[in-house]
Amino acid sequence: MNGWRSREIRSFRHAFAGIYEALRSERHMQFHLGAALLVIALAAWLRLSAGDWLWLLAAITGVWVAELINTAIERTVDRISSEQHPLAKAAKDTAAGAVLIAALFAVGVGLIVLGPPLWKACFQ
């Protein structure tokens, strides 16, 4: 295998290792995985349109990306110093705020996309 391909494969391995580590150690990532699987199963059951799938997958991806970045920031701050510092707190709180915004967006998308067809399937 040439050097370029070997480096690319190694890069993917590192990326998947990071995702696995976050899933293994972060309870919020585990929650987001469960929520994503539930939403995907519900969307499949409701036979949503491609456009609706796109919105749902974009929202899920946004939450996951925000959570992974939040985890990286938290661990980096913890690695730099175990002492409490206002700037460390601000960095962690800001990263957590990004996750909150992504999660609220995902909830909104879920309500808009899944709400009407779910209501129809259950009550009409």
Residue 108 maps to which CATH number?
1.10.287.3610
* 106 occurs within a structural domain: yes
Phi-psi label, residue 47: left if phi above 0, alpha if psi -120 to 50, beta otherwise = left
Answer whether residue 17 shows pLDDT above 90: yes
The tens digit of pLDDT for each residue in 47-79 reads: 999 999 999 999 999 999 999 999 999 999 999
Q: What is the pLDDT of residue 31?
A: 97
Instruction: Identify the CA nearest to 107 among candidates 19, 36, 22.
Output: 36
What is the average pLDDT across 107-120?
97
Residues at the annotated binding site? 7, 26, 67, 74, 83-85, 92-93
> Is 8 annotated in the active site?
no
Average pLDDT, rounded, for the chain = 95
The count of domains in the chain is: 1
> Which pTM was predicted?
0.90
Catalytic residue among 29, 67, 68, 99: 67
Q: Are 60 and 107 in contact (CB under 8 A)?
A: no
Q: What is the pLDDT of residue 4?
A: 78
Q: Are 48 and 117 in contact (CB under 8 A)?
A: yes
Instruction: Identify the CA nearest to 104 among candidates 66, 69, 74.
Output: 66
* 36 occurs within a structural domain: yes
Answer whether residue 6 shows pLDDT above 90: no
For residue 64, give its domain range: 27-114
Write out the two tokens for 97: 């705020």
Percentage of the chain modeled with pLDDT above 70? 99
* 20 occurs within a structural domain: no
What is the average pLDDT across 95-99?
98
* 104 occurs within a structural domain: yes
What is the average pLDDT across 32-38?
98
**Which band of pLDDT confidence, cut at 50, 70 and 90, is reported for residue 18?**
very high
Residues at the annotated binding site for substrate? 7, 67
* 17 occurs within a structural domain: no
* 55 occurs within a structural domain: yes
Q: Are 77 and 36 in contact (CB under 8 A)?
A: no
Q: What is the pLDDT of residue 1?
A: 55
